[in-house]
């Protein structure tokens, strides 16, 4: 039964290895709807039960950033029980200090690869993150047993445990198919902590992995985040800034005797919002979110201090300079409004370009941050995963099983493509 279904799927033109012969897929058909036709014909992929079970287990274990120990441990057991070599990469406490909610248990990235070799030199890195945003939301599914239309909900069901489950299933399925196992030994899985806050896990991996002798180089990195089953051409960059205004306190009946920091700040923010900070064809406009404003002490006192916190989504490349350009533009706007404005920005990055030209995939661009820029190196980058960002981080986070299963096929194609290109 299992083998027959696997053969059916592997034999269809949709899933034939794209890198060996071009897909005959009509370009107007989306990848996911084509997968849907397979379901409509009544067949389910051979891995449905194991995929659903893995996804359920991952979603059922709470892993809000800082508390990834238990889910990491589960994943290590799962991978080693299935014949992969796994390694725990502990993150030193000094590198996790900004995650205030961290529990007492150590945090670690999970690295895994086929076979027992201790020092792999993988060509392709397949990665996602095992932390989630708060609060924890329990797992639920609309049908039992599940079918292609079953809706699966819970925190992390999309972002990003759907990617984790689909990637692991894709690799195990490729290994099961002996005809590709030689290629697949060149793949490494990496599941990191801390993506939702400061990227501590991926940044630590990036720093330490590169210190090995000889330093391994990846040809490609495949990053799992919700992209609706499309291949992302990249995502906007990120810049977080605090703007402070300083005034002079006084009686509200005599505003001309003081200087209102709140008024200065408001005028400055409006001007920043109204300024074209930079756009690009691929990413659209740079956008500014004024997420938090504080200022003054009472309604009848001229405000002496005010501050605002902004998150800016940077639409201009390159990754290493785009954010600096935006920071200078905002700084110029502030200078044009008032001399008593100060700005302090964290380390930002410009728009991140990914490769989205692979046969059989539709493309998309997204506005959220990922770990893609946190992995240094000169590798081809792919950003792909099941589910949509529009439900991620919200109370109704969920996806359809058909989308989760389509992503298994998508990852298989991407892995083979990355290995052979
Ligand atoms: C980790 O901490 C060390 C020591 O404080 C620091 O040099 C390094 O840059 C940090 N790495 C990351 C990824 O935060
Ligand atoms: C980008 O900003 C310009 C004004 O600077 C505006 O006309 C345009 O509609 C914006 N585009 C989008 C996609 O919001
Ligand atoms: C994305 O897909 C559209 C439609 O097929 C295509 O016109 C566009 O060139 C693609 N974008 C990139 C960056 O490849």
Structure confidence by residue, pLDDT tens digits, 92-113: 887 765 554 556 789 999 999 9
**Residue owning the nearest CA to atom 14 of ligand 2:** 285
For residue 41, pLDDT beyond 50: no
Which residue would you say has higher pLDDT here, 316 or 4?
316
Reported confidence tier of residue 118, pLDDT bands at 50, 70, 90: confident
| Range of weakest confidence among 20-34, 158-172, 287-301 | 20-34
Which of 272, 273, 279, when mutated, tests ligand 2's pocket best, judged by the most ligand atoms within 8 Å of its CB?
A: 279
Q: Which ligand is nearest to the CA of 275?
A: 2
Report pLDDT for 122: 87
CA 347 – ligand 1 centroid, Å: 14
Q: Which atom of ligand 3 is nearest to the CA of 357?
A: 14
Distance CA 395, CA 137 (A): 8
Domain spans, the chain? 2-6+16-234+352-420, 237-345
- Is residue 385 within 8 Å of 407, Cβ to Cβ? yes
Q: Across 88-92, 97-101, 300-304, which has the greatest mean pLDDT?
A: 300-304
Span 361-388, pLDDT tens digits:
999 999 999 999 999 989 999 999 999 9
Q: For the packed helices 161-176 and 69-81, what is the interaxial angle rounded to 10 degrees?
A: 10
Over residues 113-140, the mean pLDDT reads 90
Q: Find where tokens 């990848």 sit.
A: 31
Report pLDDT for 104: 74
Q: Which ligand is nearest to the CA of 230?
A: 3
For residue 286, pLDDT beyond 50: yes
Report pLDDT for 117: 74
CA 287 – ligand 2 centroid, Å: 10
CA 364 – ligand 3 centroid, Å: 8
Q: Which ligand is nearest to the CA of 288?
A: 2
For ligand 1, whether the C-beta of 207 sits within 6 Å is yes
**Residue owning the nearest CA to atom 8 of ligand 2:** 285
Span 321-363, pLDDT tens digits:
999 999 999 999 999 999 999 999 999 999 999 999 999 999 9
| 237-345: CATH architecture | 2-Layer Sandwich (3.30)
Q: Which helix (H) or strand (E) holds 57?
A: helix 48-60
Over residues 259-274, the mean pLDDT reads 98
Q: What does DSSP assign to residue 6? A: H
Q: Name the average pLDDT for the chain.
A: 87
For residue 237, pLDDT beyond 80: yes
CA 109 – ligand 1 centroid, Å: 15
3-state SS string for 77-99: HHHHHCCEEEEEEECCHHHCCCC
Over residues 36-60, the mean pLDDT reads 81
Tokens of 416: 């083979």
For residue 165, pLDDT beyond 90: yes
Reported confidence tier of residue 115, pLDDT bands at 50, 70, 90: confident
Report pLDDT for 97: 57
Report pLDDT for 26: 29
Active site residues: 195
Report pLDDT for 23: 29
Tokens of 128: 């996602």
For residue 5, pLDDT beyond 50: no
- Residue 301, exposed/middle/buried by CB under 10 A (0-12, 13-18, 19+)? middle
CA 207 – ligand 1 centroid, Å: 9
Q: Which atom of ligand 1 is nearest to the CA of 206?
A: 13
Fold of the domain spanning 2-6+16-234+352-420:
Aminopeptidase (3.40.630)
Q: For the packed helices 48-60 and 69-81, what is the interaxial angle rounded to 10 degrees?
A: 160
Span 8-35, pLDDT tens digits:
333 333 333 333 323 222 223 233 434 3
| Whole-prediction pTM | 0.85
Report pLDDT for 181: 60
């Amino acid at each position: 039964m299992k083998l027959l279904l696997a053969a059916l799927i592997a034999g269809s033109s949709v899933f034939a290895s794209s890198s060996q012969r071009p897909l005959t897929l009509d370009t107007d058909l989306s990848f996911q709807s084509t997968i849907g036709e397979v379901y409509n014909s009544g067949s389910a992929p051979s891995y449905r039960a194991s995929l659903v079970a893995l996804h359920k287990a991952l979603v059922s274990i709470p892993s809000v950033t800082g508390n990834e120990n238990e889910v990491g441990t589960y994943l290590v057991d799962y991978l080693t029980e299935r014949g992969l070599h796994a390694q725990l990469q502990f993150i030193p406490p000094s590198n996790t200090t900004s995650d205030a909610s961290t529990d007492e248990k150590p945090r670690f990235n999970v690295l895994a690869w086929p076979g027992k070799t201790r020092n792999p030199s993988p060509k392709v890195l397949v990665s996602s993150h095992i932390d989630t945003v708060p609060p924890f939301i329990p797992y639920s599914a609309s049908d039992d047993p599940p079918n292609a239309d079953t809706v699966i909900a819970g925190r992390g069901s999309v972002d990003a445990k759907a990617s984790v489950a689909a990637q692991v299933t894709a690799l195990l399925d490729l290994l099961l198919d002996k005809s590709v196992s030689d290629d697949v030994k060149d793949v490494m899985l990496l599941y990191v902590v801390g993506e939702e806050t400061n990227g501590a896990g991926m940044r630590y991996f990036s720093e330490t992995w590169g210190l090995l002798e000889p330093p391994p180089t990846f040809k490609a990195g495949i990053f799992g985040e919700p992209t609706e089953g499309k291949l992302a051409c990249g995502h906007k960059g990120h810049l977080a800034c605090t703007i402070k205004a300083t005034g002079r306190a006084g009686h509200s009946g005599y505003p001309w005797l003081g200087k209102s920091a709140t008024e200065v700040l408001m005028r400055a923010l409006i001007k920043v919002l109204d300024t074209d900070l930079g756009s690009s064809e691929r990413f659209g406009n740079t956008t500014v979110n004024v997420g938090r404003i504080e200022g003054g002490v009472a309604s009848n006192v001229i405000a002496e201090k005010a501050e605002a916190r902004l998150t800016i989504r940077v639409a201009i490349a390159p990754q290493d300079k785009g954010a600096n350009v935006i920071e200078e533009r905002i700084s110029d706007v502030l200078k044009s409004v008032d001399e008593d404005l100060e700005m302090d920005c964290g380390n930002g990055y410009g728009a991140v370009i990914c490769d989205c030209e692979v046969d059989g995939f539709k493309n998309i661009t997204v506005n959220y941050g990922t770990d893609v820029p946190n992995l240094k190196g000169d590798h081809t980058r792919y950003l792909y995963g099941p589910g949509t960002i529009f439900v991620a981080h919200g109370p109704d986070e969920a996806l359809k099983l058909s989308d989760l299963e389509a992503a298994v096929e998508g990852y298989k194609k991407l892995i083979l493509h990355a290995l052979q290109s």
